[in-house]
Amino acid sequence: MSLDPGQSEPTKLADALRAAYTHRPPIPAAVDASISAAACQAFDARRRRRMAIRWGAGLAASLAAVLALAIILHRPPTPSAQVAKTAARGDVNADGHVDMTDVLLLAKHVAANDKSVPAWDANGDGVIDQKDVDALAAAAVSLKQPAVARAALPTLKDLGLDRLRVGSALADVSPERTFAKANPTEDRSEAPR
């Protein structure tokens, strides 16, 4: 079927279809205003919920940060911090161990004539000098760990663990308890030799 530009029928049909689908029925102003108001209320409620969630999440995050900071700043000292406070004689960096870093730090302080701390006196003569550096170096590399290096180890009482119950066989050592009494299931008389 060919369309002839002279035919007016398809034009009339197109105009009729266009008019049928573009027709807008009249809506009373009161109904239009109530629908618009209901939509605005719904959008405002959604916006308020989003803002409340954002503010709540921000407040919760800041409260958690403040709480974590308070816990970190007000934490009681740990046993390793107590060890560092009770530094041994010759422990220059107060890490609880007498090692070569202490020797190097003491040598640096002696060479620079810095103010000295009485705990740095490794040989106990009351003067902090090259002799202390030598004594500290000997103590740091010694396998026997002389008194200077041994003093760095804290006791259980120093660590606050003196009332700790130890759950091992060594914890309950008494003269009347022998290996045979501790292990009654094994018969020692019939054991092959």
Q: Residue 98: which of 150, 155, 44 has the closest Cα?
A: 150
As a whole number of angstroms, the distance between CA 105 and CA 93 comes to 8
What DSSP line would sit under 54-109, residue for residue? HHHHHHHHHHHHHHHHHHHHTPPPPHHHHHHHTPPTT-TT-SS--SHHHHHHHHHH
Tell me the pTM.
0.34
Tokens 């266009």 sit on residue: 18
pLDDT at 57: 96
Q: Which residue stretches of the chain have pLDDT < 50?
A: 1, 80-86, 168-175
pLDDT at 45: 95
pLDDT at 142: 72
pLDDT at 63: 95
pLDDT at 109: 86
pLDDT at 185: 60
